[in-house]
Amino acid sequence: MKVAVLGFGTVGFGVYEMLKKAKGLEPGPVLVRSGKKDADFKVTSIDEIVNDPTVDAVAEVMGGVEPAYSYAAAALRAGKHFVTSNKALVAAKGPELDAIARERGVAFLFSAACGGGVPFLHNLALARESDEIRSMGGILNGTTNYMLDAMQRLHLDYADVLRDAQRLGYAEADPTADVSGLDALRKIMLASAVAYGTLPTEGLLNEGIESVTAADVAHFQSRGYTCRLIASGGKQDGGVYAYVEPVLLRDGAAECSVLQNFNMARYEGACAGSIVLMGQGAGRWPTASAVLRDLSGILRGEREMFPENVQRGAVDNSLCRHSYYVRLPKALAEKLPAASVEEEGDVARVLTEPMAVSEMHSLAKQMREGGAEVFFAAVRE
């Protein structure tokens, strides 16, 4: 099967190199921007791929929604299998691409879009056929895990560890999506759509790590906590929830052993119980390996990850409740249902009574709109 590659950056280079050695696969043309064609195998127009009858499949590793969506739709309509590592594309346009692929009888797979090298979506798609998926999520962003780990273990500053994550090829071209929790949110959207057939698009909440400081990390550490950015999704009381937020875990919890760019993805099946998958969640070779896994899957007859007729829908994030650690200006502490308060100068560190996820996110938003600096994290004892 000849595979064209769209994009020749961190992941694209890895996919191209792996295709040269993969059983049953061979590299085809690689799409680069005009002005960047410096070898015969590179092309600068998508038409040269879509109209090439020798190309059987297209691997998109450029990123972004457009022109990735137009190129994907054109490739699928031309009868080519399509695989992608691009979660922004699948979160925005997954249902449309799935419909075109089914109509044309070709594959639409996106294992690399969630978990890097970890075969999370792949296993979730298998599990939903025989079990009821109750919840899913975990550490799904390699950049923020790398950053939080380095801040805690190596006592480095936020700006330095972000630069390192970019240099190592873990971060998105614009790392805002990583540090704001949006990248992890897109991944839990995909997992939810794979598990339940509904791509959540309304009511989603994401809190990232942009407001965490070295002083916060030292404070958690001195009290026996480790901070991780965790995505959560699942069903509760007949509704579906999906959100991302920092979580403080007691030292010794499984998530605390997830270091560097690693991810820990998990789901809970009504019969299987808790299943945990761990591995590198970002980086050239782990991600390229997931793209190749999808391509090899096509050779074995795999065609889709979403269940048939996947729809968009809403989530209700008032279904889940946690206690929260909140660092905020002392004058605002009374707005929270406090179980305990520590004060230091103008700053208060509050541990709240259990409160709804939606309430905590909304209170922090209101305080920030009023100009306050706030950091919060759910506390898991």
Residue 344 token pair: 């230091």
Distance, in Å, from the CA atom of 207 to the CA atom of 88, rounded to the nearest integer, reads 17
Contacts to ligand NAP from residues 44-103, by CB under 6 A: 61-63, 67, 85-87
Q: In the complex with ligand NAP, which residue's Cβ is closer, 45 or 366?
A: 45
- Residue 27 contact among ligand NAP, ligand HSE, none, beta carbon within 5 to 8 Å by kind: none
User: For residues 284-343, which are near ligand NAP according to CB under 6 A?
Assistant: 287
Query: Which stretches within the chain are classed as H helix?
Result: 10-21, 47-50, 68-77, 87-104, 120-127, 142-153, 158-167, 176-179, 182-196, 214-222, 284-299, 357-369
Q: CA 78, 81, 85, 89 torsion: positive or negative?
A: positive
Among residues 199, 195, 190, the alpha carbon closest in space to that of 234 is found at 195
Should residue 172 be labelled a site residue for ligand NAP when binding is judged by CB under 6 A? yes
Alpha carbon of residue 188 to chain centroid: 6
Whether residue 187 lies in the annotated active site: yes
Taking the complex as a whole, how short is the minimal distance between the CB of residue 183 and ligand HSE, in angstroms? 5
Q: Is 263 in the site for ligand NAP (CB under 6 A)?
A: no
The answer to whether residues 378 and 322 touch, using CB atoms and an 8 Å cutoff, is yes
For residue 379, which amino acid is it? Answer: V
Name the residue with the smallest CB distance to ligand HSE: 143
Calculate the alpha carbon distances from 130 to 45, 272, 273, 277 in Å.
43, 10, 13, 19
Query: Where on the chain is the footprint of ligand HSE (CB under 6 A)?
Result: 116, 141-143, 170-172, 178, 183, 281-282
Smaller CB distance to ligand NAP: residue 152 or 263? 263
Asked whether 181 and 244 are in contact (CB, 8 A), the reply is yes
Stretches 118-126, 156-164, 166-174, 305-313: which one binds ligand NAP (CB under 6 A)? 166-174
Residue closer to ligand HSE by CB (options 60, 183) is 183
Residue number of the CB atom closest to ligand NAP: 9
Which tokens is 188 given?
């839990």
Judged by beta carbon distances under 5 to 8 A according to partner kind, the member of ligand NAP, ligand HSE, none in contact with residue 169 is ligand NAP
| Residue 27 or 269 with smaller CB distance to ligand NAP | 27
User: From the list ligand HSE, ligand NAP, none, which binds 31 (C-beta under 5 to 8 Å, kind-based)?
Assistant: ligand NAP
141 interacts with, out of ligand HSE, ligand NAP, none, CB within 5 to 8 A per kind:
ligand HSE
The Cα 152–Cα 221 span in angstroms is: 7
Among 1, 2, 9, 320, binds ligand NAP (CB under 6 A): 9
Contacts for 80 with CB less than 8 Å, ≥ 6 apart: 4, 50, 55, 56, 57, 58, 106
CB 244 within 8 A of CB 232: yes
Q: Which of 80, 93, 187, 335 is catalytic?
A: 187
Nearer to ligand NAP, 68 or 100 (CB): 68
| Residues with a known catalytic role | 187
Q: Which spans of this chain sit near ligand NAP (rule: CB under 6 A)?
A: 7-12, 31-33, 61-63, 67, 85-87, 112, 116, 169-170, 172-173, 282-283, 287
